[in-house]
Amino acid sequence: MTPIHAPDVLISEVGPRDGLQSVSGTMSTAAKCLWIDALAAAGLREIEVASFVPPKLLPQMADAAQVVQHALRHTHITVMALVPNLRGAETALRSGARKITLPISASQAHCLANVRKTREDMVAELRAVVALRDAIAPGVPVEAAISTAFGCTLQGQVPEDDVLRLAVACAEAGASDVGLSDTTGMGNPAQTTRLFKRLFQEIGERTGAAHMHNTRGLGLANCLAAYEVGVRTFDSSLGGLGGCPYAPGASGNVVTEDLVFMFEAMGVSTGIDWPTLMAAREPLKAGLPGETLYGMTPEAGLPKGWRG
């Protein structure tokens, strides 16, 4: 039997969560499900489909449990959900989420604004989430996402030593992996290289995803820098939707379409089918009429003779 070649990198699509929580409109549950179906058809293997937060805070995520249940029909994808606390984690796990992510800010100011807790409180919350996972859903990965790891619009510069200390604390609290997020788009390639190198030195294989924003146009460059030091999981959002309601000035995520093109053009396989990925923009447009979608490659098209 010929072995099946696993793609070289994992593109984790965060649009249905990070993208939708950052727009003013609310996509209907039916439209979300159609969009997730289209993303799954394109070959995406991990999709963050919802955030389990109080509906009064994020009405766009009020149907989180329904969306998770629908996404679970796609047995080839990891259905991921963001949870801000133990209560959200329990609801997500009981809904069937196959991976949960807990955001913990390296910036104390952003942590207090985002989840109303200190960094130390959030590490304790992570420890409780891991214990709950062990009790009711053994084997489900719990990811710690270190937000504002590259700078914060509320606090300003975030010392790299603070980022690394927090990452180590999260690993010691039981996180399956620890990723770094450029929540405010303040990072640059040299900084990305340095931080991820240090993260690998501190926690090794538990180094997780690079979650980059394109606020200042450096999203792809930062992803490439992370790749070159060994990162193999990258968060991105179809059409570049996304941001953070609690980080003034933070704008969209790295565009999935551009990220896939970059890697495939380099000969780095993503496992994603380009025409089907482009087709996934249509249910997004239909579900959020009038919302601006981004992406250089969708506008320019593929080069003549493309073989990616």
Tokens encoding 26 = 């609310």
Report how far residue 218's alpha carbon sits from residue 250's, in angstroms, rounded to the nearest whole number: 13
Catalytic residue of the set 33, 111, 170, 244: 244
**Is 141 exposed, middle or buried, given 0-12, 13-18 or 19+ CB atoms closer than 10 A?**
middle
Cα radius of gyration (the chain): 18
Would you call 170 a catalytic residue per the annotation? no
Interacting residues of 142 by C-beta distance below 8 A, sequence separation 6+: 89, 99, 100, 101, 102, 126, 129, 130, 133, 174, 175, 176
Report how far residue 125's alpha carbon sits from residue 170's, in angstroms, rounded to the nearest whole number: 10
Report how far residue 195's alpha carbon sits from residue 166's, in angstroms, rounded to the nearest whole number: 13
Tokens encoding 176 = 């399956």
Report how far residue 56's alpha carbon sits from residue 68's, in angstroms, rounded to the nearest whole number: 19
- List residues with catalytic annotation: 244
